[in-house]
Amino acid sequence: MAVLAIHDLSCYSKSSLTVVVPVLESLFVETAVLPTAILSTQTDGFDDIYVEDKSRAMAGILSRFASLGLHFDGIYSGFLGSAEQIGIVSGVIASSDALVLVDPVLGDNGELYQTVTEEMVMAMTRLVRKAGMITPNITESMLLTGIDDGLGRFGQRAIREQIDVLRSFGPQRGVITGIPLEAGGLGNAAWDGREIRLFQYEDQGVSYPGSGDLFASVLFGLAARGESFFGSVGHATAVSTYAVAESKREGRERRLGISLAPALREMRRRML
């Protein structure tokens, strides 16, 4: 089992590839990487960040991969820095029969991320149509579907409306993460070809960069191993919420990203 992870690399602080690779390798999934950008740190909480776009390098690396005849059983994309990069990933997916997870990194807390443009939102809407699985957070779901329910709490009808549109795009399986629920707390709403299930969890009152990467990586790794979809969502929810709780308990500075050691420990306890 070999997969290709297409994400940015923060040289300090835990997010994206510094989360994705150790999680997938811990699940015994051989992981190659295609960096979309190199950053001095992740962007949330740091000033004067060095960022180097890797669009040209992506094309060169993919050319060398092709010359080597490399085949990947899975493709997992996260942060993409431009519409051009979204197009590159679209081409990779189109030429492959792999399991594809697209994490459509666009925004959070009702707002676009600083580097995301409306052009990129439209391009990402096209990209998710080529995925077998998607993992938008609730803000990203609203951006993709065009159904803006605001930042209030969601009931069953509102969640189903979001999922119905996302499912109509084509992905057979997916999860909307971090949904504020009318019943209290937060939830991850998952669907497959037959049903929708809601995985509820406690609101810790704090979020850490990289926690979404952790969730999607556990889900993708287990799916790549052939585990059941809803069982994988349950494990991913439990591991990511445990890591947030432990990061908070440790008093970890938020901008350093999710504390990875507790997550790996919980993965070993649950799945390995």
Supply the pLDDT for residue 1: 87
Supply the pLDDT for residue 149: 81
Cβ–Cβ contacts within 10 Å for residue 4, how many? 23
Question: 46, 15 in Cβ contact below 8 A?
Answer: no
Q: Distance (Å, rounded) from C-alpha 43 to C-alpha 231?
A: 32
Supply the pLDDT for residue 126: 97
How many structural domains compose the chain?
1
Supply the pLDDT for residue 168: 96
Place of tokens 């947030």: 244
The secondary structure element, H or E, covering residue 248 is: helix 229-249
Q: Which residues of the chain have pLDDT under 70?
A: 272
Question: 6, 21 in Cβ contact below 8 A?
Answer: no
Q: Which of 136, 132, 201, 199 is nearest to 163 (CA)?
A: 136
Domain harbouring 6, CATH code: 3.40.1190.20
Provide the domain limits for residue 203: 2-271
Supply the pLDDT for residue 180: 97
Q: Distance (Å, rounded) from C-alpha 58 to C-alpha 80?
A: 11
pTM: 0.96
Supply the pLDDT for residue 192: 96
Supply the pLDDT for residue 151: 76
Supply the pLDDT for residue 272: 67
